[in-house]
Amino acid sequence: MSDVIVESPDYRAFMAATKAPSFVVAELDGRWRLCEVKWPNALIEVRAATGAFTLRFDLSGYPSHPPTAQLWDQKTNARLTDPLWPRSKGGRIGTVFRTNWMSGTALYLPCDRVTINTHPAWQTQMPAQLWRPDGSIVQYLEVVYELLNSLDFLPPSAQAA
């Protein structure tokens, strides 16, 4: 599953998080699945109301530095094309899954490294939603899972090839 030769502290911390009960129970429940680790990246598939979406995480510095993630196409090994992104009925999914935010290379979430670094005011405006350095990848995955299974979710406008 991994091409890591020397296990760095961030790698060890992430792998420990994937063995913690909160990650394992959700994985057994089918909420998400760890697909691949090629450090510092990990592919995790998250089940949606219909289908599933793969996130490609950059976990450099984990957990003291927040992860960042983008929707990923495992077949092409590239960013998921815009027509395959989840759609919104007008709610939060349309805000979080924005192809026009950072060219679709980060999700618009307060727990995402790229997004929080560009929104310093969020430190005081929404502290409960920020990445917790003492937390785990489960924090990020739970937010994505809840969104993809919310009443706001619409499947992509196109089918994967």
Q: What is the pLDDT of residues 45-79, one digit of tens each?
A: 999 999 999 999 999 999 999 999 999 999 999 99
Residue 1 domain-assigned (yes or no): no
Q: Look at the chain and report how many structural domains it folds into.
A: 1
Give residue 55's domain range: 9-151
Residue 144 domain-assigned (yes or no): yes
74 to 52, 81, 90, 119: CA distances (angstroms) = 12, 12, 28, 30
Residue 158 domain-assigned (yes or no): no
Instruction: Give one DSSP letter per residue of 3-70, joined into a string.
Output: --SS--HHHHHHHHHHHSHHHHHHHHTTSEEEEEEETTEEEEEEE-SSSEEEEEEE-TTTTTS--EEE
Residue 37 domain-assigned (yes or no): yes
Provide the token pair at 85.
């992104």
Residue 64 domain-assigned (yes or no): yes
Closest CA to 14 of 144, 139, 147, 146: 139
Residue 128 domain-assigned (yes or no): yes
Question: What CATH number is attached to the domain comprising 47?
Answer: 3.10.110
Pairing of strands 153-154, 52-58: unpaired
pTM over 0.75, yes/no: yes
Catalytic (active site) residue 35: no
The pLDDT value given to residue 1: 53
| Residue of 17, 42, 111, 141 marked catalytic | 111
d(CA 132, CA 67): 11
Task: List, for residues 104-161, the tens digit of each pLDDT value.
Answer: 999 999 999 999 999 999 989 989 999 998 889 999 999 999 999 999 999 998 775 5
